[in-house]
Amino acid sequence: MPKKVLLAEPRGFCAGVEMAIKALTWMVRVFEPPVYCYHQIVHNQWVVKAFEQVGVVFVENIDEVPEGAPVMLSAHGSSPEVVQGAGERAGVVIDAVCPLVTKVHHEVKRMAAQDFDIIYVGHEGHDEATGTVAVAPGAISLVQPEIGLAGFDPADSTKVALLAQTTLGLHEWQAVLEQAGQQYPDLWTARKSDLCYATTNRQEAVQQLADRADLILVVGSENSSNTQALVRVAEETGTAAYRIDAAGDIHPEWLTGARIVGLTAGASAPDHLVQEVIDRINPSDGFELFRVTDEEEYFPLPRQLRGFLTALQAAVEGGFTARKPGQPGLLENDRDWTATEALQLVWP
Protein backbone atom coordinates (compact mmCIF):
# COMPACT_ATOMS: atom_id res chain seq x y z
CA MET A 1 0.00 0.00 0.00
CA PRO A 2 1.37 3.49 -0.79
CA LYS A 3 2.80 5.37 2.17
CA LYS A 4 2.10 8.86 0.94
CA VAL A 5 0.45 10.89 -1.82
CA LEU A 6 2.29 14.03 -2.90
CA LEU A 7 -0.31 16.42 -4.28
CA ALA A 8 0.87 18.92 -6.90
CA GLU A 9 0.22 22.62 -6.43
CA PRO A 10 -0.82 24.14 -8.74
CA ARG A 11 -3.07 21.55 -10.35
CA GLY A 12 -6.57 21.46 -11.81
CA PHE A 13 -8.72 24.41 -12.86
CA CYS A 14 -6.92 27.32 -14.55
CA ALA A 15 -8.31 30.85 -14.86
CA GLY A 16 -9.71 30.17 -18.35
CA VAL A 17 -11.60 27.08 -17.22
CA GLU A 18 -12.85 28.88 -14.09
CA MET A 19 -14.26 31.64 -16.28
CA ALA A 20 -15.84 29.27 -18.82
CA ILE A 21 -17.55 27.06 -16.23
CA LYS A 22 -18.92 30.05 -14.32
CA ALA A 23 -20.15 31.60 -17.57
CA LEU A 24 -22.01 28.45 -18.63
CA THR A 25 -23.45 28.17 -15.13
CA TRP A 26 -24.92 31.64 -15.57
CA MET A 27 -26.38 30.59 -18.91
CA VAL A 28 -28.20 27.56 -17.45
CA ARG A 29 -29.56 29.63 -14.58
CA VAL A 30 -30.79 32.48 -16.73
CA PHE A 31 -32.25 30.59 -19.73
CA GLU A 32 -34.78 27.81 -19.91
CA PRO A 33 -33.14 24.67 -21.27
CA PRO A 34 -31.84 23.77 -23.72
CA VAL A 35 -28.82 26.02 -23.74
CA TYR A 36 -26.45 25.19 -26.59
CA CYS A 37 -22.68 25.05 -26.40
CA TYR A 38 -20.42 24.83 -29.44
CA HIS A 39 -17.84 22.14 -28.59
CA GLN A 40 -17.34 20.83 -25.08
CA ILE A 41 -17.14 23.87 -22.79
CA VAL A 42 -13.89 22.40 -21.41
CA HIS A 43 -12.36 19.02 -22.14
CA ASN A 44 -13.51 17.06 -19.13
CA GLN A 45 -16.10 14.33 -19.26
CA TRP A 46 -17.41 14.89 -15.71
CA VAL A 47 -17.96 18.62 -16.33
CA VAL A 48 -19.63 17.96 -19.69
CA LYS A 49 -21.95 15.36 -18.16
CA ALA A 50 -22.86 17.70 -15.29
CA PHE A 51 -23.97 20.38 -17.74
CA GLU A 52 -25.79 17.87 -19.93
CA GLN A 53 -27.81 16.80 -16.88
CA VAL A 54 -29.19 20.33 -16.57
CA GLY A 55 -30.07 20.79 -20.22
CA VAL A 56 -26.93 21.94 -22.01
CA VAL A 57 -26.66 20.49 -25.52
CA PHE A 58 -23.12 20.31 -26.87
CA VAL A 59 -22.88 20.53 -30.66
CA GLU A 60 -20.00 19.97 -33.06
CA ASN A 61 -21.57 22.04 -35.82
CA ILE A 62 -22.99 25.52 -35.27
CA ASP A 63 -25.80 24.71 -37.77
CA GLU A 64 -27.22 22.32 -35.16
CA VAL A 65 -28.20 25.32 -32.98
CA PRO A 66 -31.88 26.18 -33.57
CA GLU A 67 -32.70 29.73 -34.69
CA GLY A 68 -33.01 32.08 -31.73
CA ALA A 69 -31.54 29.71 -29.11
CA PRO A 70 -28.92 30.83 -26.56
CA VAL A 71 -25.44 29.54 -27.37
CA MET A 72 -22.06 29.58 -25.73
CA LEU A 73 -18.77 29.10 -27.59
CA SER A 74 -16.20 26.97 -25.79
CA ALA A 75 -13.03 28.03 -23.97
CA HIS A 76 -10.79 26.65 -26.76
CA GLY A 77 -11.67 29.40 -29.23
CA SER A 78 -13.75 29.21 -32.39
CA SER A 79 -13.06 29.99 -36.02
CA PRO A 80 -14.26 33.35 -37.43
CA GLU A 81 -16.88 31.42 -39.49
CA VAL A 82 -18.31 29.77 -36.38
CA VAL A 83 -18.45 33.08 -34.50
CA GLN A 84 -20.22 34.68 -37.45
CA GLY A 85 -22.58 31.70 -37.93
CA ALA A 86 -23.51 31.74 -34.24
CA GLY A 87 -24.24 35.47 -34.44
CA GLU A 88 -26.54 34.96 -37.41
CA ARG A 89 -28.68 32.16 -35.96
CA ALA A 90 -28.55 32.32 -32.15
CA GLY A 91 -30.64 34.59 -29.93
CA VAL A 92 -27.78 35.26 -27.54
CA VAL A 93 -24.12 34.36 -28.19
CA ILE A 94 -21.58 34.29 -25.38
CA ASP A 95 -18.01 33.53 -26.37
CA ALA A 96 -16.17 31.87 -23.48
CA VAL A 97 -12.84 31.74 -25.31
CA CYS A 98 -9.87 31.98 -22.96
CA PRO A 99 -8.10 35.35 -23.34
CA LEU A 100 -4.79 33.51 -23.76
CA VAL A 101 -6.16 31.72 -26.84
CA THR A 102 -7.48 35.04 -28.15
CA LYS A 103 -3.95 36.43 -27.80
CA VAL A 104 -2.65 33.72 -30.16
CA HIS A 105 -5.48 34.48 -32.63
CA HIS A 106 -4.32 38.13 -32.62
CA GLU A 107 -0.72 37.05 -33.25
CA VAL A 108 -1.83 34.91 -36.20
CA LYS A 109 -3.77 37.85 -37.70
CA ARG A 110 -0.88 40.25 -37.21
CA MET A 111 1.77 38.01 -38.76
CA ALA A 112 -0.49 36.93 -41.64
CA ALA A 113 -1.17 40.60 -42.43
CA GLN A 114 2.61 41.09 -42.75
CA ASP A 115 2.82 38.17 -45.23
CA PHE A 116 4.64 35.82 -42.87
CA ASP A 117 4.35 32.04 -43.28
CA ILE A 118 3.28 30.80 -39.86
CA ILE A 119 4.37 27.54 -38.26
CA TYR A 120 1.65 26.68 -35.75
CA VAL A 121 2.77 23.91 -33.42
CA GLY A 122 -0.30 22.00 -32.32
CA HIS A 123 -2.32 18.81 -32.46
CA GLU A 124 -4.41 18.18 -35.53
CA GLY A 125 -8.11 17.87 -34.72
CA HIS A 126 -7.88 19.60 -31.32
CA ASP A 127 -10.55 22.29 -30.98
CA GLU A 128 -8.04 25.03 -30.15
CA ALA A 129 -5.80 24.18 -33.10
CA THR A 130 -8.75 23.97 -35.49
CA GLY A 131 -10.06 27.39 -34.39
CA THR A 132 -6.63 29.03 -34.56
CA VAL A 133 -5.70 27.67 -37.99
CA ALA A 134 -9.03 28.94 -39.32
CA VAL A 135 -8.07 32.52 -38.41
CA ALA A 136 -5.67 32.67 -41.41
CA PRO A 137 -5.77 29.31 -43.23
CA GLY A 138 -3.78 30.59 -46.22
CA ALA A 139 -0.83 31.70 -44.08
CA ILE A 140 -0.61 29.02 -41.41
CA SER A 141 0.78 25.47 -41.41
CA LEU A 142 -0.13 23.11 -38.59
CA VAL A 143 3.03 21.35 -37.44
CA GLN A 144 2.60 18.41 -35.10
CA PRO A 145 5.40 18.34 -32.49
CA GLU A 146 6.06 14.63 -33.02
CA ILE A 147 6.56 15.15 -36.78
CA GLY A 148 8.42 18.46 -36.87
CA LEU A 149 8.97 20.70 -39.87
CA ALA A 150 9.03 18.09 -42.64
CA GLY A 151 6.76 19.39 -45.40
CA PHE A 152 6.85 23.04 -44.28
CA ASP A 153 7.96 25.13 -47.26
CA PRO A 154 7.70 28.93 -46.80
CA ALA A 155 7.51 31.31 -49.76
CA ASP A 156 10.17 33.54 -48.16
CA SER A 157 12.52 31.96 -45.62
CA THR A 158 13.19 35.39 -44.04
CA LYS A 159 9.52 35.80 -43.15
CA VAL A 160 8.63 32.82 -40.98
CA ALA A 161 6.81 33.03 -37.64
CA LEU A 162 6.34 30.32 -35.02
CA LEU A 163 3.24 30.18 -32.82
CA ALA A 164 1.77 27.39 -30.71
CA GLN A 165 -1.22 25.77 -29.10
CA THR A 166 -1.32 26.90 -25.46
CA THR A 167 -1.35 23.43 -23.94
CA LEU A 168 1.64 21.65 -25.50
CA GLY A 169 4.41 19.92 -23.61
CA LEU A 170 7.19 22.49 -23.11
CA HIS A 171 9.88 20.04 -24.28
CA GLU A 172 7.89 19.28 -27.46
CA TRP A 173 7.47 22.95 -28.32
CA GLN A 174 11.17 23.61 -27.62
CA ALA A 175 12.21 20.84 -30.03
CA VAL A 176 10.26 22.47 -32.89
CA LEU A 177 11.54 25.93 -31.90
CA GLU A 178 15.11 24.68 -32.06
CA GLN A 179 14.61 23.07 -35.46
CA ALA A 180 12.87 26.16 -36.84
CA GLY A 181 15.56 28.47 -35.41
CA GLN A 182 18.28 26.50 -37.21
CA GLN A 183 16.43 26.45 -40.53
CA TYR A 184 15.19 30.06 -40.41
CA PRO A 185 17.67 32.40 -38.65
CA ASP A 186 15.21 35.33 -38.96
CA LEU A 187 12.44 33.32 -37.26
CA TRP A 188 9.84 35.46 -35.46
CA THR A 189 8.35 34.10 -32.22
CA ALA A 190 6.27 35.63 -29.47
CA ARG A 191 8.46 37.17 -26.73
CA LYS A 192 7.29 34.45 -24.38
CA SER A 193 6.11 31.11 -25.74
CA ASP A 194 2.39 30.77 -26.42
CA LEU A 195 2.22 27.99 -23.88
CA CYS A 196 0.05 29.44 -21.13
CA TYR A 197 1.00 29.98 -17.50
CA ALA A 198 -1.26 27.11 -16.36
CA THR A 199 0.32 24.65 -18.78
CA THR A 200 3.88 25.57 -17.80
CA ASN A 201 3.19 25.72 -14.04
CA ARG A 202 1.49 22.30 -13.99
CA GLN A 203 4.28 20.80 -16.08
CA GLU A 204 6.95 22.27 -13.81
CA ALA A 205 5.16 20.78 -10.78
CA VAL A 206 4.73 17.32 -12.30
CA GLN A 207 8.34 17.23 -13.48
CA GLN A 208 9.64 17.95 -9.97
CA LEU A 209 7.07 15.59 -8.50
CA ALA A 210 8.17 12.77 -10.79
CA ASP A 211 11.68 13.00 -9.31
CA ARG A 212 10.24 12.30 -5.86
CA ALA A 213 7.52 9.77 -6.68
CA ASP A 214 7.41 6.10 -7.72
CA LEU A 215 4.27 6.65 -9.74
CA ILE A 216 2.46 9.66 -11.19
CA LEU A 217 -1.31 9.82 -11.64
CA VAL A 218 -2.84 12.63 -13.71
CA VAL A 219 -6.57 13.26 -13.37
CA GLY A 220 -8.13 14.48 -16.60
CA SER A 221 -9.95 13.38 -19.72
CA GLU A 222 -8.53 11.75 -22.81
CA ASN A 223 -9.26 14.72 -25.10
CA SER A 224 -7.63 17.20 -22.70
CA SER A 225 -4.41 18.28 -24.41
CA ASN A 226 -2.78 19.74 -21.30
CA THR A 227 -3.60 16.58 -19.33
CA GLN A 228 -1.94 14.39 -21.93
CA ALA A 229 1.06 16.75 -21.91
CA LEU A 230 1.39 16.27 -18.13
CA VAL A 231 1.56 12.50 -18.60
CA ARG A 232 4.23 12.87 -21.30
CA VAL A 233 6.29 15.30 -19.18
CA ALA A 234 6.23 12.85 -16.26
CA GLU A 235 7.14 9.92 -18.52
CA GLU A 236 10.12 11.89 -19.87
CA THR A 237 11.66 11.65 -16.39
CA GLY A 238 11.44 7.85 -16.48
CA THR A 239 8.71 7.61 -13.83
CA ALA A 240 5.61 5.55 -14.66
CA ALA A 241 2.65 7.87 -15.30
CA TYR A 242 -1.01 7.24 -16.05
CA ARG A 243 -3.99 9.40 -16.96
CA ILE A 244 -7.25 8.63 -15.19
CA ASP A 245 -10.66 10.24 -15.44
CA ALA A 246 -11.55 9.22 -11.90
CA ALA A 247 -10.58 7.00 -8.96
CA GLY A 248 -12.30 3.98 -10.50
CA ASP A 249 -9.80 3.96 -13.38
CA ILE A 250 -6.85 3.09 -11.13
CA HIS A 251 -5.50 -0.41 -11.80
CA PRO A 252 -4.51 -1.99 -8.45
CA GLU A 253 -1.27 -3.34 -9.94
CA TRP A 254 -0.06 0.23 -10.62
CA LEU A 255 0.11 0.76 -6.86
CA THR A 256 2.11 -2.39 -6.15
CA GLY A 257 5.51 -1.32 -4.86
CA ALA A 258 4.71 2.42 -5.20
CA ARG A 259 5.51 3.96 -1.82
CA ILE A 260 5.13 7.58 -2.95
CA VAL A 261 2.39 8.45 -5.45
CA GLY A 262 2.54 11.86 -7.14
CA LEU A 263 -0.89 13.20 -8.00
CA THR A 264 -1.89 16.09 -10.24
CA ALA A 265 -4.78 17.14 -12.47
CA GLY A 266 -5.19 18.78 -15.86
CA ALA A 267 -6.55 22.30 -16.12
CA SER A 268 -10.15 21.17 -16.69
CA ALA A 269 -10.41 18.47 -14.00
CA PRO A 270 -12.61 19.21 -10.95
CA ASP A 271 -10.85 18.90 -7.62
CA HIS A 272 -13.39 16.58 -6.00
CA LEU A 273 -12.19 13.89 -8.44
CA VAL A 274 -8.66 14.39 -7.10
CA GLN A 275 -9.88 14.02 -3.51
CA GLU A 276 -11.63 10.78 -4.49
CA VAL A 277 -8.36 9.45 -5.89
CA ILE A 278 -6.61 10.12 -2.55
CA ASP A 279 -9.42 8.28 -0.74
CA ARG A 280 -9.09 5.36 -3.14
CA ILE A 281 -5.29 5.13 -2.69
CA ASN A 282 -5.71 5.50 1.08
CA PRO A 283 -2.00 6.18 1.80
CA SER A 284 -0.85 5.09 5.27
CA ASP A 285 0.78 8.50 6.01
CA GLY A 286 -1.90 10.58 4.24
CA PHE A 287 -1.14 13.25 1.65
CA GLU A 288 1.18 16.24 1.52
CA LEU A 289 1.05 19.31 -0.72
CA PHE A 290 3.92 19.69 -3.18
CA ARG A 291 3.88 23.37 -4.12
CA VAL A 292 6.10 24.84 -6.81
CA THR A 293 4.44 28.22 -7.27
CA ASP A 294 1.33 30.26 -6.49
CA GLU A 295 -1.22 31.27 -9.11
CA GLU A 296 -3.22 34.47 -8.85
CA GLU A 297 -4.59 34.71 -12.40
CA TYR A 298 -8.22 35.65 -12.81
CA PHE A 299 -10.19 36.17 -16.02
CA PRO A 300 -13.47 38.09 -15.83
CA LEU A 301 -16.66 36.66 -17.32
CA PRO A 302 -17.08 37.25 -21.09
CA ARG A 303 -17.94 40.86 -21.92
CA GLN A 304 -21.21 39.90 -23.68
CA LEU A 305 -22.35 37.94 -20.62
CA ARG A 306 -21.56 40.78 -18.23
CA GLY A 307 -23.53 43.18 -20.42
CA PHE A 308 -26.45 40.80 -20.68
CA LEU A 309 -26.58 40.07 -16.94
CA THR A 310 -26.31 43.73 -16.04
CA ALA A 311 -29.27 44.51 -18.30
CA LEU A 312 -31.24 41.58 -16.84
CA GLN A 313 -30.49 42.66 -13.30
CA ALA A 314 -31.69 46.18 -14.09
CA ALA A 315 -34.93 44.71 -15.49
CA VAL A 316 -35.48 42.61 -12.35
CA GLU A 317 -34.84 45.58 -10.10
CA GLY A 318 -37.16 47.64 -12.29
CA GLY A 319 -40.06 45.35 -11.42
CA PHE A 320 -40.24 43.25 -14.58
CA THR A 321 -41.00 39.59 -14.24
CA ALA A 322 -37.80 37.78 -15.03
CA ARG A 323 -36.10 34.75 -13.54
CA LYS A 324 -33.68 35.59 -10.77
CA PRO A 325 -30.15 34.98 -12.09
CA GLY A 326 -28.54 32.91 -9.35
CA GLN A 327 -27.58 34.11 -5.91
CA PRO A 328 -27.49 37.85 -5.32
CA GLY A 329 -24.09 39.41 -5.63
CA LEU A 330 -22.46 36.68 -7.71
CA LEU A 331 -21.87 38.92 -10.69
CA GLU A 332 -20.41 41.73 -8.62
CA ASN A 333 -18.29 39.30 -6.60
CA ASP A 334 -17.23 37.06 -9.46
CA ARG A 335 -13.63 37.00 -8.23
CA ASP A 336 -14.73 35.44 -4.93
CA TRP A 337 -16.82 32.77 -6.57
CA THR A 338 -15.16 29.60 -7.87
CA ALA A 339 -16.04 27.22 -10.68
CA THR A 340 -16.20 24.45 -8.07
CA GLU A 341 -19.00 26.34 -6.30
CA ALA A 342 -20.65 27.00 -9.66
CA LEU A 343 -20.66 23.26 -10.45
CA GLN A 344 -22.25 22.57 -7.07
CA LEU A 345 -25.10 24.91 -8.07
CA VAL A 346 -25.47 23.11 -11.39
CA TRP A 347 -25.27 19.54 -10.19
CA PRO A 348 -25.11 19.33 -6.37
Binding site for ligand SF4 (CB under 6 A): 14-17, 75, 98, 100-101, 166-167, 196, 198-199, 226, 267
Q: Is 128 a catalytic residue?
A: yes
Q: Provide the 10 A C-beta neighbour count for residue 59.
A: 13
Rounded Cα–Cα distance for residues 108 and 99 (Å): 14
Helix/strand/coil for 74: coil
Residue nearest to ligand SF4 (CB): 16
In the complex, least distance from residue 293 CB atom to ligand SF4, rounded to whole angstroms:
14
- Indicate the residue among 5 and 21 with the shorter CB distance to ligand SF4: 21
Residue closest to 41 by CA, chosen among 18, 63, 64: 18
Q: How far is the CB of 98 from ligand SF4 (least distance, A)?
A: 3
**End-to-end CA distance of the chain, in Å?**
32
Question: Given the complex with ligand SF4, which of 188 and 197 has the nearer CB atom?
Answer: 197
Q: Which residue of the set 9, 18, 107, 128 is catalytic?
A: 128
Q: Which is nearer to ligand SF4, 44 or 166 (CB)?
A: 166
Q: How far is the CB of 19 from ligand SF4 (least distance, A)?
A: 8
Q: Yes or no: say if 267 and 242 are a contact pair by the CB < 8 Å rule.
A: no
Closest CB to ligand SF4 among residues 12, 262: 12
* Cα angle value 312/314/317 (rounded, 5°): 110
Distances (CA, A) of 153 to 33, 135, 178, 220: 49, 20, 17, 36
Distance of closest approach, residue 52 Cβ to ligand SF4, in angstroms: 20
Q: How far apart are CA 202 and CA 318, in angstroms?
A: 46
Nearest to 216 by CA among 232, 201, 200: 232
- β-sheet with 92-95: strand ranges across: 56-59, 35-38, 70-73, 92-95
Q: Find the shortest distance in angstroms from Cβ 195 to ligand SF4.
A: 8
Closer of 16 and 270 to ligand SF4 (Cβ): 16
> d(Cα 267, Cα 270) in Å, to the nearest integer?
9
Measured from the CB atom, is 14 or 213 closer to ligand SF4?
Answer: 14
Three-class SS state of 35: strand
Amino acid found at 253: E
Would you name the residues annotated as active-site residues?
Answer: 128
